[in-house]
Amino acid sequence: MVRIIGFFVGLGFCLVLAIAFFTGAYNHITNPPAETAEKEFHLHPKPLALESNGPFGKYDRAQLQRGFQVFKEVCSACHSLKYVAFRDLRDLGYSEAEVKAIADQWVIQQPSVNPDTGEPSTRKSLPADRFPAPFANEVAARAANNNAVPPDLSLMAKARENGPAYIHSLLTGYRDQPAELLKKFPATKTPEGLHYNPYFPNLNLAMPPPLVSDGQVTYADGTKATVDQMSTDVSAFLAWTAEPKLERRHAIGVAAFVFLLVFSVLTYMAYQNIWASKKRELANA
């Protein structure tokens, strides 16, 4: 009896799934999704070749230092790195003295108030401090950025699909709206204060182009600072901030793979040795 009830319950479940499938397919065919500007004109990120890509990837320290320079001189005016401490920059090849000098360029606001002036107290950053936010609070951030809050960039390369490639494409993707878009979707004209970028999901974003011309940053190592080069370098740097232990993870993965390979070979050899006599006995039986 229980088996019969179970059979009919399973049959009813399969029937409901079939009805749902065919109903959804019929509705999709008879009422296809409406075309939208975002669906038709949104572009996927262009591939970005970084040395950290792939299972054996490693960071290019010189590129990370250039990317940090782009962040410091361009991006840090609006964006924060709240999950990165100044002392973490030693992983980029900076010495302790250089890290202290870099930290000294940032100011941290104290919760206390200066009794003489009534202004918030401040102090120079220390290597143990994390990068401070460029704005005192969300209200100040919105007031300075057309009512938009610039996101923290610490984990941006992990928060977006194809993170480094997305960042690079976004930074180099600013352009005028195509005439075809305005003709087909006239209501999607970019509002005042926003900027058209086909790599952004809804095509318009509040951030103006941060990298506008070659030579905007003068690299310490003499690399020519084209817009594409600066975008690539800062994308690599943000890949590091999102996953600073990537090289260690890759090394552990390779070691684990080698261990499993050797273990598998030894296991097979032990199997052959243990059962060799039994196989001979069965063959002679």
- CA proximity to 157, closest of 146, 149, 166, 148: 166
How far are the Cα atoms of 102, 222, 230, 249 from residue 75, in angstroms, in the given order? 16, 21, 11, 28
**CA 143 – CA 198 distance, rounded (Å):** 26
**Is 79 annotated to bind ligand?**
yes
What does the chain come to in residues?
285
Q: Are 181 and 198 in contact (CB under 8 A)?
A: no
207 is in an annotated binding site: yes
Burial category of 66 from C-beta neighbours within 10 Å (exposed 0-12, middle 13-18, buried 19 and up)? buried
Cα 96 to Cα 48, 64, 80, 276: the distances in Å are 32, 17, 22, 62
75 annotated ligand binder: yes
Instruction: Specify the DSSP element, H or E, that contains 195.
Output: strand 195-196
Please give the DSSP secondary-structure letter assigned to residue 242: H
Binding-site entries: 75, 78-79, 207
Binding-site entries for heme c: 75, 78-79, 207
